[in-house]
Structure 1
């Protein structure tokens, strides 16, 4: 099922609606439209495969009974304390990878400092977590006499902490392709982390029934070609993340905008819709997929329906034939609580306003 809520329409559509209103239970052949990510009515659109819509009343929609759980639960942990969960995601494989690449970078640069061990990497990460909670204006204040944080100073000397910070690496710089190479990866330096956490997030739990695809911002004010601006977010500048989360807010999968290693799975639905397709490739049939109008097109809805997913979404008025539904003016005249809808494909698709 697809539920689209168009964000406004023009009053010039009233006469078109008057022509349609008498066609109860008759099919209406509509050309689907897709567009760029702007909501401007002047955006150029491209006609696609038609959908036959009809106006009639239905009592309910029968959905196959789902075997999925309403909330996720861990399957690879015998105990589920916060420390157990932390050690599952930050496992020995990842710690060894970070230690190996950091020591390799140290040798490449010729730094005369001791090698880093996996245990030191684990402690270093814990210290970073603590620093993100107990914030001080300057890093060295955690070791200063008047502001010393014993939890940190008892684990690392200031010099050793800064040595680790200096050489911390996650991938081998010598293997990085040049910018002119076809295999150049803008996220090469953190690619092992992205792959590791996406794999761990999905393997740790049995997936839940309801999934949400959304955009998030990791705040960052420094200089980076990957930095983006989102006016609708509390933190407007930073790294833009596309994520799939569950109703429980558990993060299953993510990708970073600007990642030139992502693949176009379905070339006909647009870049934003391909984000949804990539992030839902590993979810089981009969799952619910929710996303907003940034991603939504009618082609994406049909693609996900064919994959046996139930879709709930808003959609922009320039991405479908908005003359199907009553205009804002007509709904306002009908009073508070008024709405309009159409169905298609034996009520598998529903569009409402």
Structure 2
């Protein structure tokens, strides 16, 4: 479905000659797929905290999948010395409270991610979803963002490249103290 995109989910099982696909019907029936999709649930509802209460996690429904992905990234990726921190947008048109609009991105509406990537290969090996919950002063927010995403990669001698947006003397001092070198990304 990522390679062959159709406007409706049911179109993958269409028998009309102009819409017909052979792969999906060969794997499973439409009713079986829809039944699995309808019952697919990865979160533990007993741990859900309502919006507005202390401890609310906007990503509660997908948190197990995100944690599994990050664990697999950590198990299978050993980044080189040079790594980069940047923002990305995952295109999304659904309804979530933390969806953002960015005129400069190919997908204007989406979910903002802070991504840690290996400079040589460009592979993302760590990411954090921006949920809009961060309401501190700008300098504290960026410091916390960098330290949170870097926590498993400090004290390893990495050279971290990032935009000046994240920079602050406090961050420089802490990265230096944690054996991580800082480099500004060149301006566009």
Given the two structures, how large is their TM-score scaled by the length of structure 2?
0.86
CA distance in 2, matches of 1:175, 1:223: 22
- Partners of 1:214 and 1:242 within 8 A in 2: yes
Q: 1:250 aligns with which of 111, 116, 123?
A: 123
CA distance in 2, matches of 1:201, 1:269: 29
CA-CA distance at 1:178 after TM superposition: 2.2
Flag the structure with more relative contact order, 1 or 2, with Cα contacts below 8 A and sequence separation at least 6. 1
Q: Which consecutive unaligned segments of at least 5 residues does structure 1 have?
A: 1-130, 316-353
CA-CA distance at 1:232 after TM superposition: 2.7
1:281-312: per-residue Cα shift (whole Å, max 9, x none)? 11243211011122122221222111111111
Structure with larger Rg: 1
- Partners of 1:243 and 1:253 within 8 A in 2: yes
- Alignment correspondent of 1:299: 170
Mapped pair 1:136 → 2:6: yes
CA-CA distance at 1:314 after TM superposition: 5.3
Q: CA RMSD in A?
A: 2.4
Mapped pair 1:187 → 2:33: no
Given the two structures, how large is their TM-score scaled by the length of structure 1?
0.48
Q: Report matched runs for 1:1-353 at 5 Å.
A: 131-145=1-15, 146=17, 147-247=19-119, 248-258=121-131, 260=133, 269-283=139-153, 284-313=155-184
Q: Which consecutive unaligned segments of at least 5 residues does structure 2 have?
A: none
> Residue 242 of structure 1 aligns to a residue in which SS?
strand
